Amino acid sequence: MNGAVRRVVTGETADGTAVVASDTEVAPEPPRVGVVVHALWSSDAAIDLPADGSQPVAEGITPPPGGFRFALVTFAPNEEVLGGGFHSSQTIDMGIVVSGDIYMELDDGVEVRLRQGDTLVQHGTVHAWHNRSNEPCTMAVAAVGARRKAT
């Protein structure tokens, strides 16, 4: 998904009425090798409700504990993405494959193929992504900041 993505956000007025706070298009972030990211909604802290629907404060790619990021991520075909290497973050990542398919590889060599409709919950593990198909793969991903235990 390389073009803009529609984002509808609701909110609540001071008297408690639900409203559409915004209905806009979100352009992709500046391109990275092998991946296109549409950052849809983020916060660096838990949200207090009711909320008016305005965009919370969020800095950086990875949320702090209690914060979150929600994005559409499109992996280019025939690519080892995110630098082709292994990485991890201090997040719980929850994703669903919206279109295409992709392989998630763990650092012990285990690979899992995820197809359209498949979901993944990743607990800050070391992993890499591989799109071995001839088509892009798009995933909707929500990442929630977590704390890593001291070892």
Tens digits of per-residue pLDDT, 109-119?
999 999 999 99
Domains: count for the chain: 1
**124 in Cβ contact with 44 (< 8 Å):** no
Phi and psi angles of residue 62, each rounded to the nearest 5 degrees, phi first:
-100, 130
Q: What is the largest CA-CA distance in the chain?
A: 55
pLDDT band at 94 (very low <50, low <70, confident <90, very high): very high
CATH of the domain at 125: 2.60.120.10
Judged against a pLDDT cut of 90, whether residue 31 lies above it is answered with no
With H, G, I as helix, E, B as strand and everything else as coil, classify residue 141: strand
**64 in Cβ contact with 145 (< 8 Å):** yes
Judged against a pLDDT cut of 80, whether residue 147 lies above it is answered with yes
Residues belonging to the chain? 151
Name the token pair of 80: 């080892």
Residue 97 covered by a domain: yes
Tens digits of per-residue pLDDT, 118-139?
999 999 999 999 999 999 999 9
With H, G, I as helix, E, B as strand and everything else as coil, classify residue 51: coil
Judged against a pLDDT cut of 80, whether residue 45 lies above it is answered with yes
Tens digits of per-residue pLDDT, 52-80?
999 999 999 899 999 999 999 999 998 76
pLDDT score, position 80: 64
Residue 39 covered by a domain: yes
Residue 19 covered by a domain: no
The domain in which residue 127 lies consists of 29-145
